[in-house]
């Protein structure tokens, strides 16, 4: 099993009109290029063995625009497409591929803006009315690792407190 969970936010949050190429490159190298080619290495071995599971941990930022960290959104949207590509390529070889799409998760990455998210959640941002924890993501990975979803390749698991739901 391979779990692509490494990721960074931009060192500087900047409006997309002011984004710097070196920060863009750093985020895409880490968040998109690294997992893509690591998956390529693991997929070759898994394909030959006739079994395996691959997980890409993306983000609600793969479909939610944040104009002050566009490079992060682009990197996560790219990973979402990578899931479809790898799932299509590897399915016939017994390798399943999944996307776990976390929402607002209490990690070091959001530490500086955690209070802002807590206020938004209290005001209805999430139907489940709580911030996610790393353990919530780990449980989704565990379900995949335990083979509970082996007939579901290419699926997106929303671990986001209901953020992805649309309602009027």
Q: What is the pLDDT of residues 101-153, one digit of tens each?
A: 999 999 998 888 999 999 999 999 999 999 999 999 999 999 999 999 999 99
pTM recorded for the entire structure: 0.94
Residue 117: active-site member: no
Active-site residue among 36, 72, 117, 151? 72
The answer to whether 109 and 68 are in contact (CB under 8 A) is: no
What fold, for 2-159? Rossmann fold (3.40.50)
132 φ, ψ (degrees, to nearest 5): -75, 160
Edge-first strand order for the sheet with 95-102 is 2-4, 52-57, 95-102, 156-159
pLDDT above 70 coverage of the chain, percent: 100
Interatomic CA distance for residues 160 and 157, integer angstroms: 9
């Amino acid at each position: 099993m391979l779990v692509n969970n490494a990721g960074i936010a931009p060192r500087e949050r900047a409006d997309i009109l002011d984004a710097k190429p070196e920060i863009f490159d750093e985020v895409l190298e880490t968040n998109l290029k690294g997992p893509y080619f690591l998956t390529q290495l693991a997929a070759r071995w898994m394909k030959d063995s006739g079994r395996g599971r691959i997980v890409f941990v993306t983000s609600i930022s793969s479909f939610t625009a944040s104009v002050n960290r566009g490079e992060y959104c682009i990197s996560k949207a790219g990973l979402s497409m990578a899931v479809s590509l790898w799932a299509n390529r590897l399915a016939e070889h017994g390798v399943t591929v999944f996307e776990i799409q976390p929402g607002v998760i209490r990690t070091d990455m959001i530490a500086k803006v955690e209070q802002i998210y807590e206020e938004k959640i209290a005001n209805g941002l999430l139907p489940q009315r709580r911030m996610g924890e790393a353990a919530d993501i780990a449980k989704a990975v565990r379900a995949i690792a335990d083979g509970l979803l082996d007939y579901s390749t290419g699926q997106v698991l929303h671990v986001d407190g209901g953020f992805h739901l649309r309602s009027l």
